[in-house]
């Protein structure tokens, strides 16, 4: 029996690699088995197996690390075993360029129109209302809104100079 156990142990040891991370490293966290966490409102097969990258804040023990968790994981304790972590390899394609957003004192920002995407005339019983679909700065095309053309001409005449 011991011979069989030692043989199996030698097979496993060949493929085993000791994981060790430093403070400040980025890792992926395994969340596939977390029953209480519903990430991105998806269940079953479509739920993510790993989330991240997440930064390591401190090494608590030889096999335990404290992580800087995402707000969506606030219900979970912040210490994890090393087997729940995967090393994150930095990739320049993962970096997202963004324009800094100027925020007012009351935590709001000014919406600036970028361009007009479409025009439409809304028919009410005996009236026609011209509408324009406006793409706003810091928003996607899907978030473009329909506005009244006369209001937009009054506030932003530069959009209609074409």
Contact, 80 vs 19, CB < 8 A?
no
pLDDT of the residue at 9: 86
pLDDT-above-70 percentage for the chain:
79
pLDDT (0 to 100) of residue 99:
64
Give residue-wise pLDDT tens across range 21-55. 888 888 888 777 666 555 555 666 667 777 778 88
Query: Average pLDDT, whole number, for the chain?
Result: 79
Task: Identify the structural domains of the chain with CATH numbers, from first to last.
Answer: 2-92 (2.30.30), 113-160 (2.40.50)
Task: Name the strand (E) or helix (H) holding 4.
Answer: helix 2-15
pLDDT on residue 94: 66
Sorted by sequence, the CB contacts under 8 Å of residue 53 that are 6+ apart come out as 26, 27, 28, 88, 94
H or E element at residue 145: strand 145-148
Q: What is the pLDDT of residue 137?
A: 79
Q: Are strands 85-87 and 79-81 parallel, antiparallel or unpaired?
A: unpaired
């Amino acid at each position: 029996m011991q011979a069989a156990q030692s043989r199996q142990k030698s097979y496993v040891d060949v493929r085993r690699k000791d994981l060790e991370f430093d403070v400040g490293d980025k890792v992926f966290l395994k969340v596939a088995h977390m029953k209480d966490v519903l990430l991105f409102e998806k269940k079953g097969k479509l739920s993510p197996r790993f989330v991240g990258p997440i930064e390591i804040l401190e090494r608590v023990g030889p096999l335990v690390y404290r992580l800087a968790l995402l707000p969506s994981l606030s219900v979970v304790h912040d210490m994890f075993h090393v087997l729940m972590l995967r090393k994150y390899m930095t990739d320049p394609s993962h970096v997202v360029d963004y324009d800094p957003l100027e925020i007012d004192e009351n935590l709001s920002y000014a919406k600036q129109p970028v361009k007009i995407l479409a025009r439409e005339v809304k028919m009410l019983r005996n009236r026609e209302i011209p509408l324009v679909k406006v793409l706003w700065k810091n928003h996607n095309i899907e978030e473009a809104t329909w506005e009244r053309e006369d209001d937009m001409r009054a506030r932003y005449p530069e959009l209609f100079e074409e």
